A and B are shown apart, each in its own frame.
Chain A
Amino acid sequence: MIPEIQRFGRDFATRSIAPRKKAYDERVLRKGRDEWRVWDPKKSKLGAAMQKGLTDVPLRRGMKILYLGISTGTTASHLSDIVGFEGMIYGIEFSARMVRDLMQVSSQRKNIVPILADARMPENWAQRVEKVDLVYCDVAQRDQSEILMRNAKVFLKKGGHMMIAIKARSIDVAAKPRDIFVQEKQKLSKMFNITSDVNLNPFEKDHAFFVGRMI
């Protein structure tokens, strides 16, 4: 995959840029002077996607990421290990309770920028961020594909990438998850080449994870 992500047995892990500081209750492996933080697939959808065989991971050191729905920074902490201090993660989260915990993580990882704001209204916070190489979207909202596309239009660099977790239940509780995934894929295909899609079962019920590149 990429050197910043390593396998230890079944687990994936990232080399911590903030040794001895946990971002959540992840397991930590010590190898020589390095600390590798195990990526918990039950707590991170990207972690789950990799466990389900996703290898198409367009992440590299020094890259900039816009993270919609960053929550308390569980997944973002691994992205933060990967992009390193030359990179940056702009995290949008509208729940103050989540941002409270996120700011704790962000003060130990200066490449995570916490922004208490609504991902639906980029006009309110656009001036705080830069253009990015990747938009990661995990807002668990009915209109999450639209939210991703609206933000990608403003913030994603030409040829940039996207990752999105689709939660079927937050789009329609009654419809078949598979139908929803197809429908969301179609929507997103207007703007992106979807290069991978994985189902997150059994780590997350009725979730899909897409990776794509802006056309």
Chain B
Amino acid sequence: MTIYVSFSPIGVFASDGNGRERAFVSFPKEPELAARAMQDCMQPKLSREESEIASKLKEKDVLFEIKKEGYKHEFPNPAGDALRKNMILIAEKQRLFKNRMEFLSFVHAVNFELSKSSMQKEPVNDKLIVHAINALDEIERTTNTLAMRLREWYGQYFPEAGYKLSDNKAFSEYISTTLYRSDVRGAEPHDSLGSDISKEDLEEIRVFAKKILEDFKAREELEKYIEMKSKKVCPNTHAILGGMMSARLLAHAGSLERLAKFPASTIQILGAERAFFRFKHGTGSSPKHGVIFNTRYLQSAPRDKKGKIARILAGKLSIALKLDFYGGEFRGDSLKKSVDSALLSQKSSMRPRPQGHSSFNSAVSNRPTSHSHHSNHSQKPRTSEGSKTSGFRSGTTHRPTNNADTRDNGSAFVKPKQNVRPPAKGRGRSACKKRRK
């Protein structure tokens, strides 16, 4: 006769095919110990209590409810069913608890312990990268805002410095060190359009500038950290995309596990979910690229080949991510090489198309060339004075380079005049509250 075995927070239970009890071995009554005993029972090796049950049974044909080395298993099995149905009766028979309440709080405590230990085992390194890249974006936003304030503030005293130093970091650095008009070499203090303000007032501006400079340094630190960390956490993906882009992909998925389980087609559109949904609703063209469009592969691809390159890249990334998540070997270099050579062959097979080609070129050359976020002037100060003075910077005003608006112009995949909004940031998933990245 076949005997079935399963377990529960109270212990290990053996029954016949009708769920009638054949043997029972209880777990310790301390929730922590019972939780540990349950964890042992979840392993493929027989636990102490399971061996004890097996030794009590004469029958050889023993069937477990989960995988056990040397045994068959079946889910659910009659022992498990009986145990889940009558757990409290079985406990009563064993005189394990005084009453129902005591039983219930024991079950709660054991499960609480089990969940606590699985929480502690949750992989965290990918999440750290996601926090870091999100922190980077947030610092970037706030430093730009603060730098604009600094420009306005200091502009009361020496506006000319602001025109000269268009880079926010350099500007903050200048104020934290030089500060006084009279200390600027070659400057004629009395030629400035600014007013004379007191030393005390100026020193206050210096404090603010130093704070901003700190933020710039934190940004650089974070970038280095993300580079280093993603090389460790997802070396294959890192080899293809570099640290920042790998981190952005992770941030869009939320975790390495989710990302590794996405099909290549999802990886291809990550970061372009909104365009994708518009397409599904029949009100937009199919998105050809999301996060990965910002990579150099796609930037340098001929425009009529971008879709194809994006597909190839997403395919290789999908392999790289699986290697990274499941702890596979390092094949990043060869994966990267195959994307590179695909790109190369697509470039050389480009048909000469005089019109399309030239517009592609001009689209490229019109594109803002700055790849750093250090000179981002697109944000206007949120002040009333802002509107009066913002004119002087209009020459350098451009949209941030990571803005899809600028990027998509001139792409063959965007219908003329169709306004492609920047992709929604990781908002493509469930509407449940409290989800934070």
Interface set of A (CB-CB < 8 Å, partner B): 43, 71-72, 74, 85-86, 88, 90, 95-101, 103, 106-107, 110-111, 113-116, 122-124, 126-131, 140, 154-155, 157, 167, 170, 173-174, 204
A16, B432: Cα distance in complex, Å: 24
B432 touches A97 (CB 8 A): no
CB distance from A187 to the nearest CB of B (A): 21
A131 touches B101 (CB 8 A): no
Q: Which of A86, A116, A126 contacts B84 (CB 8 A)?
A: A126
CB distance from A123 to the nearest CB of B (A): 4
B65 touches A126 (CB 8 A): yes
CB distance from B6 to the nearest CB of A (A): 6
For A154, list chain B residues within 8 Å (CB): 76
Q: A107-B112, A114-B111, A127-B7 are in contact. Are A86 and B119 (CB under 8 A)?
A: no
A99 touches B115 (CB 8 A): yes
A100, B435: Cα distance in complex, Å: 11
B118 touches A127 (CB 8 A): no
Q: Within B378-437, which residues are at the interface with A (CB < 8 Å)?
A: 430-436
Q: Decide if the interface of chain B is mainly helix, strand, loop or mixed.
A: helix
- List the A residue with the shortest CB-CB distance to B73: A123
Q: A85-B104, A88-B104 are in contact. Are A126 and B112 (CB under 8 A)?
A: no
Q: Which of A97, A110, A113 contacts B436 (CB 8 A)?
A: A97
CB distance from A108 to the nearest CB of B (A): 12
For A86, list chain B residues within 8 Å (CB): 100-101, 104
> Counting chain A CB atoms within 10 Å of each CB, which of B76, B105, B110 scores highest?
B76
- List the B residue with the shortest CB-CB distance to A110: B108
A85, B282: Cα distance in complex, Å: 51
Q: Which of B38, B41, B80, B115 contacts A114 (CB 8 A)?
A: B115
CB distance from B303 to the nearest CB of A (A): 28
B interface residues, tally (CB under 8 Å): 43
Q: A97-B436, A127-B80 are in contact. Are A113 and B111 (CB under 8 A)?
A: yes
| CB pairs A–B below 8 angstroms (18 shown) | A71-B434, A86-B100, A88-B108, A103-B112, A106-B108, A106-B112, A110-B108, A113-B108, A127-B8, A127-B42, A127-B65, A129-B84, A130-B87, A140-B431, A167-B430, A167-B431, A173-B277, A173-B281
B66 touches A174 (CB 8 A): no
Interface set of B (CB-CB < 8 Å, partner A): 6-9, 38, 41-42, 65-66, 75-76, 80, 83-85, 87-88, 100-101, 104-105, 107-108, 110-112, 114-116, 118-119, 122, 277, 280-282, 430-436
Q: Which of A43, A114, A126, A204 contacts B75 (CB 8 A)?
A: A126
A128 touches B9 (CB 8 A): yes
A155, B115: Cα distance in complex, Å: 20
- List the A residue with the shortest CB-CB distance to B124: A96
Apart from A97-B436, A113-B108, 8 more pairs, CB < 8 Å: A72-B434, A88-B108, A103-B116, A107-B112, A123-B75, A127-B6, A128-B8, A128-B114
Q: Which of A43, A100, A107 contacts B119 (CB 8 A)?
A: A100
For B107, list chain A residues within 8 Å (CB): 88, 113, 130
A127, B67: Cα distance in complex, Å: 13
> Counting chain B CB atoms within 10 Å of each CB, which of A103, A107, A114 scores highest?
A114
Q: Which of B75, B280, B432 contacts A71 (CB 8 A)?
A: B432
For A99, list chain B residues within 8 Å (CB): 115, 119
For B277, list chain A residues within 8 Å (CB): 173
Q: Which of A72, A88, A126 contacts B80 (CB 8 A)?
A: A126
CB distance from A8 to the nearest CB of B (A): 24
B6 touches A157 (CB 8 A): no
A155 touches B119 (CB 8 A): no
A128 touches B280 (CB 8 A): no
